[in-house]
Chain A
């Protein structure tokens, strides 16, 4: 465990109390660092990737390969004035970005970063907790839409709530299928259950449906319907600017990363693999999945909200339920 490694290392130099405090502080710093830096790096990758797909260069001037561009953007967002519309519900308006970023932050703490030792806070049922943190976001989307007191944001909020609620149902059922198969809600148990055969071979339909649902739940294009720039301008984010908007970005990219990691953990064998160290195996898989997730954004157009909900309730939900029943049957008999 990361905590005990750091603690043991520190006790060599300091008293136990100081070491404990130091270990907690360090883990906070690590978690914070990941939360803040992952979006910057992922944002850069996203920009470069989209640029290449669209015959552009993307950022080139800021640092080598434009690597510092997103840092510059964060500086810009930090330096921006807080603009608060006079009609907004101030409490809700101010709370939502912080809440969303906090949820992202919590996911970073719970999920294993490569292998079981690299978990910041190990929890026995971490899969369930991650699900809860993913599932809580429609509430915030709805609140943000409401709190801005704007028709566009309200529409976006409704859409977001409808979309994510639709997909969470299938997501939960798919997580249950994986749990039924492995007999656990713990990611490390699920991964070790896949040491011989990856679950993608057992559950190909679940894998495909899970991929779709995770796209929908991260609200990235093609499923960015709640914030559809071309229809609702920015949907539920419409009145946000400056670093509040930046917090949404953090939440979005952390969610993207977490969902990609979940796909690897649940279906692609996690950190299992020959020769290379296990965390390297995990990161190779995670990077590939994240890349595919990002590419999908740039090659598809956005479906309509009713089409998406129809797809969710008419196809994906029945599929996942049937899948769960089959797996349950297989496991029992």
Chain B
């Protein structure tokens, strides 16, 4: 015990090996009693030099590396990376490929949010919610496997489209799954999470992100939509097929952990709505524009940003007339979230650390790159 002076301040390390850090993160927390007075997040435990790796391999062989960035929503990042390269190359996609990509992005978003729901449950000590989140995610995992062959790292998006067409019975398998998930999220999760008094007691008013705070730390995505900022790149700067879809940007007023939880719950429902439209309007035709395996991109700066389940992700690629990028900068939304945690957590109880961290949904693979 390191009690300093007359105050009963103790420094504890939460992480890097800790059940609630969702991977390998570390918090150096000073506590007085049970209250956190200083929080210093430390990252970099799973740093793999992803940006350096980009400079060493050609555009196509870099896609598997992208899969390991955000391993919860790998497909969204694959799409983002492919979009950057395609934009630099000037390739346009066949309409079916656009729809398939949008469909898979939304599927991945539901999977990510289901995992989030489960993890918040687990962090608050409700293992049943955790298991249920995984149970529903598993249904989509099976579909993902039937489409791409991979479950966690699909490696499905190719330059100029997607590698394979959807399986023939995909629609007939997808729609019942969507119905099941919608039913369970609306009815079964309700009693266990968002209408449960103990759950509300633990999440309401915890880790409140105000509009100013979100601006200060550059937070994006569901985390700020919980603070009433209606910003969603899918709506504001439509990419893929999002401009043809009818969906709402979900916002909540509270800005606390509960609001962020509700954002994810409602986004699952919105995504289900979108997926139904996508399946209905799915055009026929090719799924891929022919792009050679090796290609060179003339010197230019290419910037693309998209909405991943964790917020606004972006890639800024500098090319140099070579078969590999000269520099690829990756903006990961969770990186900014981690930075904000040092201020967000101060004054809360130790038990709230996991609630706040869980409600912000960071993924270490994406933070550390």
Q: Which A residues are closer than 8 A to B by beta carbons?
A: 50, 53-56, 149, 151-152, 154-155, 158-159, 221-222, 224-225, 228-233, 298-307
Contacts and interface: CB of A to CB of B under 8 A. Distances in A.
Interface residues of B, number: 33
Q: Which 7 A-B pairs rank lowest in CB-CB distance, beginning with the nearest?
A: A302-B125, A54-B131, A301-B124, A301-B126, A230-B20, A304-B351, A301-B125
23 contacts: A53-B128, A54-B131, A54-B135, A151-B10, A151-B12, A155-B350, A158-B34, A222-B198, A224-B125, A229-B125, A231-B351, A233-B18, A233-B19, A299-B191, A299-B192, A300-B126, A300-B198, A301-B124, A301-B129, A302-B126, A303-B202, A304-B351, A305-B351
Contacts of B199: 301
A241 to B, nearest CB: 16
Contacts of B128: 50, 53-54, 298-299
Contacts of A298: 127-128
Question: Chain B: interface secondary structure?
Answer: helix
B351 A54 contact: no
Given A229-B125, A230-B20, A231-B351, 11 more contacts: A50-B127, A54-B132, A55-B131, A55-B132, A155-B31, A228-B351, A229-B19, A231-B20, A233-B18, A301-B126, A306-B34
Contacts, number: 87
Contact of B198 (A149, A224, A228, A301): A301
A306 B349 contact: yes
A230 B354 contact: yes
B123 interface: yes
A235 to B, nearest CB: 11
B34 A300 contact: no
Interface string B8-52: 001010000011100000000001001000000000000000000
Indicate the member of B12, B121, B122, B125 with the most A CB atoms within 10 Å. Answer: B125
A230 B10 CA distance: 19
Contacts of B196: 300-301
Nearest to B31: A155
A224 B20 CA distance: 16
B354 A55 contact: no
B349 A304 contact: yes
A225 B124 CA distance: 10
A233 B15 CA distance: 10
A151 B13 CA distance: 9
Interface string B115-149: 00000011111111101100100000000000000
Nearest to A56: B131
A300 to B, nearest CB: 5
B353 interface: yes
A55 B135 CA distance: 8
A230 B122 contact: yes
A230 B198 contact: no
Contacts of A151: 1, 10, 12
Interface of B: 1, 10, 12, 18-20, 31, 34, 121-129, 131-132, 135, 191-192, 196, 198-199, 201-202, 349-354
A229 B128 CA distance: 15
A239 to B, nearest CB: 15
Contact of B201 (A50, A155, A307): A307
Contacts of A230: 19-20, 122-125, 354
Given A54-B132, A230-B20, A231-B351, A302 B124 contact: yes
Contacts of B10: 151
Contacts of B351: 225, 228, 231, 302, 304-305
A252 to B, nearest CB: 16
A116 to B, nearest CB: 39
Identify the interface centre among B10, B201, B350, B351: most chain A CB within 10 Å of its CB. B351
A152 to B, nearest CB: 7
Given A54-B132, A151-B12, A228 B1 contact: no
A305 B34 contact: yes
A95 B51 CA distance: 54
A159 B20 CA distance: 19
Contacts of A54: 127-128, 131-132, 135
A224 B126 CA distance: 11
A37 B122 CA distance: 30
Given A222-B125, A302-B124, A231 B354 contact: yes
Contacts of A159: 34
Contacts of B349: 304-306
Contact of A303 (B135, B191, B198): B198
A298 B128 CA distance: 6
A307 B129 CA distance: 21
Contacts of B125: 221-222, 224, 228-230, 301-302
Contacts of B127: 50, 54, 298
A139 B134 CA distance: 39
